[in-house]
Amino acid sequence: MSHTAHIPSHRKPRRSGSNKLRAGVAGGVLSTLAVAGASGSASAAAPVTETIEMPTLTSDLSAQVARSASATQLTAAAYELQAQQEQLRAEQDQAAKKASGQAKKDRAEAVRKAEAEKKAAERAAKAEAERRAETERASRTAERAPLTTTTAAAPASTSTPQSDTPSTGTSDSTGTSAPSTGSSSESTTAPASGNLGSVIAFLKAQVGDAYVMGGTGPNSWDCSGLVQAAFKEAGIDLPRTSQTQSTAGTQVGTSNLQVGDILYWGGAGSAYHTGVYIGNGQYLDAANPSKGVVIQDLSGYPADGAVRVL
């Protein structure tokens, strides 16, 4: 017997056992399929659906969410309010600085304008006083033109200080009597030499000089500056202004004048102009910007008062 033929015969009993096992397995499978079929039929009749449950919002959770949202809004509003406040403060600071700078400029401008107005008022007051004096002088000169012409035609001796002090009944340098053009009550008696002569000589030397407000020489004068300088030649210190010069010395009025008397226009202590009587009804003064230092006839512009210091 061949080896090949021997093997089949050798394994026959095992094949029967395997068939039994297979039959058992097949039976089990068929049973399982039957159960599965039944189960499938049942599943087909009542399908099962799977549901995923989501968490539900409770009232507490809703409240927490609401509070969180509200807190977020409040925080945002607070930041926005803070930003607005900071911007407002910055704008206020800028406005305050600008207002402070403008206030300083306004104060400086106000001070400048006040000073300018004050100076303008002072100049206007002085100009008005000069204008009034000039108007009155021109008016009286026009009214008394014949008398002024007669006075101008009278003999004049102005070459020396002595000839600058003629008086009624007193001979001048030509030996003739020099007529007076003032009132009959005016006295023109004066010493022929001495301190008064130096005053008159100084005044005569300035004739033709310019008039300048506040001028004190040597080539320009105002009225009181010229009078002060003239009497300084005689060693007499007079006050600087017309007001104070009108109260220096002794009040003598205008009806008893002597050469060297200080004439003033206006009230004593409030005079606005001064000059010096030089005799023969004339006076010498720093009149105004248009005339300068001149000799004028007293009848054309009578003084309001006079004081005597020599």
pLDDT (0 to 100) of residue 220: 95
Distance CA 271, CA 258 (A): 20
Express each pLDDT in 175-205 by its tens digit: 333 333 333 333 333 343 458 999 999 999 9
pLDDT (0 to 100) of residue 255: 92
Residue 30 has pLDDT above 70, yes or no: no
Hey, what amino acid is at 28?
A: G
% of the chain at pLDDT higher than 70: 61
Residue 124 has pLDDT above 90, yes or no: no
Q: At what angle do helices 195-205 and 223-232 cross, to 10 degrees?
A: 140
Give the pLDDT band of residue 127 (cuts 50, 70, 90): confident
Taking residues 262-280, what's their average pLDDT? 96
DSSP state at residue 163? G
Stretch among 57-71, 165-179, 217-231, 258-272 having the lowest mean pLDDT: 165-179
The number of helices, as runs of H, and strands, as runs of E, in the chain is 6, 8
Residue 48 has pLDDT above 80, yes or no: no
Taking residues 265-284, what's their average pLDDT? 96
CA max distance for the chain: 214
Q: Rounded mean pLDDT of the chain? A: 74
pLDDT (0 to 100) of residue 227: 97
Distance CA 203, CA 217 (A): 12
Express each pLDDT in 136-158 by its tens digit: 655 555 544 443 333 333 333 33
User: CB neighbours (10 Å) of residue 190?
Assistant: 25
Hey, what amino acid is at 285?
A: D
Give the pLDDT band of residue 287 (cuts 50, 70, 90): very high
Domains of the chain: 128-308 (3.90.1720.10)
pLDDT (0 to 100) of residue 194: 59
Q: Is the omega angle on the peptide bond into residue 289 within 30 degrees of 0, that is, cis?
A: no
Stretch among 83-97, 162-176, 233-247 having the lowest mean pLDDT: 162-176
Sign of the torsion formed by the C-alpha atoms of 162, 163, 167 and 170: positive
135 touches 229 (CB < 8 A): no
pLDDT (0 to 100) of residue 54: 59
Distance CA 293, CA 141 (A): 17
Taking residues 226-250, what's their average pLDDT? 95
- 284 φ, ψ to 5°? -120, 135
User: CB neighbours (10 Å) of residue 225?
Assistant: 22
Give the pLDDT band of residue 100 (cuts 50, 70, 90): confident
Residue 213 has pLDDT above 80, yes or no: yes
pLDDT (0 to 100) of residue 202: 96
pLDDT (0 to 100) of residue 62: 75
Place of tokens 């009806």: 255
pLDDT (0 to 100) of residue 114: 87
Q: Which of 105-109, 176-180, 228-232 has the highest mean pLDDT?
A: 228-232
Residue 254 has pLDDT above 50, yes or no: yes
Query: How far apart, in Å, are the Cα atoms of 235 and each of 36, 151, 164, 222, 283?
Result: 158, 33, 20, 20, 21
